[in-house]
Amino acid sequence: MQFDVIVVGAGPAGLTAGIRLAEAGWSVAVLDPRVPFEKPCGGGLTPRVWDWLPVDKTAFTTCRDVDRVVLRLDDGHPVEVELPKPLSLLSRQELGAQLLERLTAAGGVFCPYRARDVEDRAGQWHVYAEVANRQMDPIGRWADGQIVKRDSPRPGPPHRPTAELPALTVFRARWLVLADGVYGLSRKRWGHFTAVTDWTRTVGYLIPGTDAAIQIQFWSGWDGYAWVFPRADATSVGLCDTLPGQTGHLFRRLDAWAARLGWDPGSAIQRYGHLIPSPTMAHPWFPLWGDRWVRIGDASGFVDPITREGIFFAVQAGRVLAECILQGTFPSAWATWLEQERWPEWRSAARWRRWFYRPWFLRAMLAATRWRRLYRLLQGVLVGDIPYSKLVEAVL
Ligand SMILES: Cc1cc2nc3c(=O)[nH]c(=O)nc-3n(C[C@H](O)[C@H](O)[C@H](O)COP(=O)(O)OP(=O)(O)OC[C@H]3O[C@@H](n4cnc5c(N)ncnc54)[C@H](O)[C@@H]3O)c2cc1C
């Protein structure tokens, strides 16, 4: 159980970093009690993700490319936007399975363990982990509080080693990468956002069937939106909002909206509630890296606070971090990248967010699509081509 690097969490962030390091010949262990699983997520990928993801789009059977988005505020007229490049919608379970396969092919080791504690002993990280227990309690709740309906139509392929695994194990390595999402060890150990406004609450589910367009619904007074993301095999329907509120209330709103669009919420599978970090500040107050350790992805709050897109930022951070470690430039090059690339963009996003969900702003944005220049601008924002820091420049 001795490695060069231990990655805690096999989401897009951890696996992208792990794959790159394993490809460079490092011994890598990736710990995760659950992957591949249908992580609560819209599974929406902006085109740029494919430039960074270490797997090919053609490998996915659940992936659907969609180039039409319908946006609506309250009961107003829908505004249809044709995208210059398609957004891809796919299953997180399949994304996890594809990345795991790539990790194993590169020589990395996947260990179905939950990290329980970690300590730095004489220049070696000791990660204390227990073997995954996939049993749910009687109401279908994982140990971390996430609720998943028991009748999942897509039980994960058994990505488990066949040999008997020890229940408790100590993994040792020089490097530690924490990519364990929002409910992980890094949050308990090193903290995360504490203000309610820095978190987005989501509810959602999958509905059998698919469609040709993405639907986005805004409501006056909501700091978020509802979505219909049609994949090739099913459709992800969900809602996000920063306001503190009861999950039941959010589900009722989502069910009513989905029914109005012609979807049957009664056929929904895998109902979930989950959190997304959506920082209102330029950069987090909690520690993000130290001597031979670093956190990336949701664990560090790398999510677009307006759209709540996180997969791109997780994958990008995994890749950039791996290059810094391989070139021996961590932490200076990592800190520089954050200073020059991430924080300025987050600062702009936090500024725009103050306006974005105001009803007058949304109304003006949708009405402005009648002008060719502003229509193009919205197209660019939707596919991730125009950063928030360049928005004003792009308008002028
Ligand atoms: C409802 C919802 C919809 C979303 N829709 C989109 C979307 O359409 N497009 C988009 O780009 N982003 C979306 N996001 C955001 C996106 O899901 C995340 O930003 C992205 O998954 C972050 O990747 P990650 O690798 O950092 O973390 P995760 O994908 O959360 O992976 C973390 C992993 O760590 C594991 N883990 C946790 N604790 C431990 C432990 N103690 N030991 C070992 N492993 C552990 C977990 O099992 C998990 O597999 C959505 C989020 C939600 C909640």
CATH number at residue 268: 3.50.50.60
Q: Pocket of ligand 1, candidates 87, 276, 342: which has the most ligand atoms within 8 Å of its Cβ, to mutate? A: 276
Per-residue model confidence (pLDDT) at position 153: 36
Q: Is residue 384 part of a domain?
A: no
Tell me the Cα Rg of the chain: 21
Ligand 1: centre distance to CA 328 (Å): 28
Whose tokens are 């979505």? That residue is 227
Ligand 1 mean position, distance from CA 11 (Å): 6
Ligand 1 lined by 34 (C-beta under 6 Å): yes
Contact of 374 with 236, CB cutoff 8 Å: no
- Closest residue by Cα to residue 222 from 249, 194, 191: 249
Beta strand ranges found along the chain (DSSP E): 2-8, 28-31, 44-45, 64-73, 79-89, 109-111, 113-121, 124-131, 168-178, 199-208, 214-218, 225-230, 234-241, 269-277, 289-290, 293-295
Residue 242: give the domain boundaries: 2-351
Query: Does residue 356 form part of some domain?
Result: no
What does the pLDDT read at residue 284? 78
Ligand 1 site, residue 13, Cβ cutoff 6 A: yes
Report, as ranges of residue numbers, the positions in the chain whose pLDDT lies below 70.
133-165, 243, 282
Residue in 290, 286, 311, 318 with CA at minimum distance from that of residue 300: 286
**CB of 185 sitting under 6 A from ligand 1:** yes
Q: How many whole angstroms from 54 Cα to the centroid of ligand 1?
A: 17
Question: CA 295 to CA 137: how far, in whole Å?
Answer: 30
Residue 173 in contact with ligand 1 by CB distance below 6 A: no
- Protein residue whose Cα sits closest to atom 22 of ligand 1: 298
In a domain, 361, yes or no: no
Residue 196: what pLDDT? Answer: 83
Q: 15 C-alpha vs ligand 1 centroid, how far in Å?
A: 12
Q: 4-49 pLDDT, tens per residue? A: 999 999 999 999 999 999 999 999 999 998 888 899 999 999 999 9
Alpha-carbon gap, residue 380 to 90, rounded angstroms:
21
Which residue, judged by its Cα, is nearest atom 26 of ligand 1?
Answer: 297
Q: Is 250's C-beta closer than 6 angstroms to any atom of ligand 1?
A: no
67 CA from centroid of ligand 1 (Å): 25
pTM: 0.93
Tell me, using a 6 A CB cutoff, whether residue 202 lines ligand 1: yes
pLDDT at residue 141, as a whole number: 37
**Residues in a beta bridge with 295:** 178
Backbone angles phi, psi at 155, to 5 degrees: -60, 140
Residue 180 in contact with ligand 1 by CB distance below 6 A: yes
Question: Which residue puts its alpha carbon closest to atom 2 of ligand 1?
Answer: 41
- Report the pLDDT value the prediction gives residue 143, as an integer from 0 to 100: 40
Report how many domains make up the chain. 1
